[in-house]
Amino acid sequence: MEEKYLTQEGLDRLKKELEILKKDERIRIAEELKTAISFGDLSENAAYDDAKENQAQLEARILEVEKLIHSSKIIKHNKKGWVEVGSMVTLTDGKSENTYQIVGEEEANPLENRLSFKSPLGAAMINKPEGAKIKIQTPKGVIEYKILKIN
């Protein structure tokens, strides 16, 4: 089984999601099924079909989250001054500064400045020291960044 890299916060979010799925969502789906069954003939009951589909999707998500939790490895940022998974990195392109957290694929969210260590920018930063310059090929051409700060 392939290890998945998560921050402690990411693991905590998954555990909370799993709890909600197993308790609240299962109860909600059970109520949907109960209501749909009360309509009678199941062979021509669209509400029942929808409820069963929702139940299947819920159970699939529960399995997915459980698998992710069990295969996860908590990211521990150890090397001071070097970019690694878990680092908070401040970059500049000469025009603006941005700070990103380097995370595993499961937690990546560019809108929240959380970059996967496998993304082009994340991969270019891994194992680089503070002050290093990195170049990224983009559709608009090559962009050069300088690593200003690593936490």
DSSP 115-126: EETTSHHHHHHT
Q: Is the pLDDT of residue 43 over 90?
A: no
Pairwise pLDDT comparison (39 vs 21), residue with the higher score? 21
Q: 25 pLDDT band (50/70/90 cuts)? A: very high
From CA 107, how far away is CA 113, in angstroms rounded? 11
- Tell whether the torsion through CA atoms of 63, 64, 67 and 69 is positive or negative: negative
Q: Which two tokens stand for residue 64?
A: 């997915």
Task: Walk me through the domains of the chain, giving residue ranges and CATH numbers.
Answer: 4-74 (1.10.287.180), 88-150 (3.10.50.30)
pLDDT exceeding 70 applies to what percent of the chain?
Answer: 98
Is pLDDT at 79 greater than 90 in this prediction? Answer: no
Mean pLDDT of 36-43: 86
What does the chain come to in residues? 151
Instruction: Give yes or no for residue 126 having a pLDDT over 80.
Output: yes
* Helix, strand, coil tally for the chain in percent (to 5): 45, 25, 25
pLDDT in tens, 87-113: 999 999 999 999 999 999 989 999 999
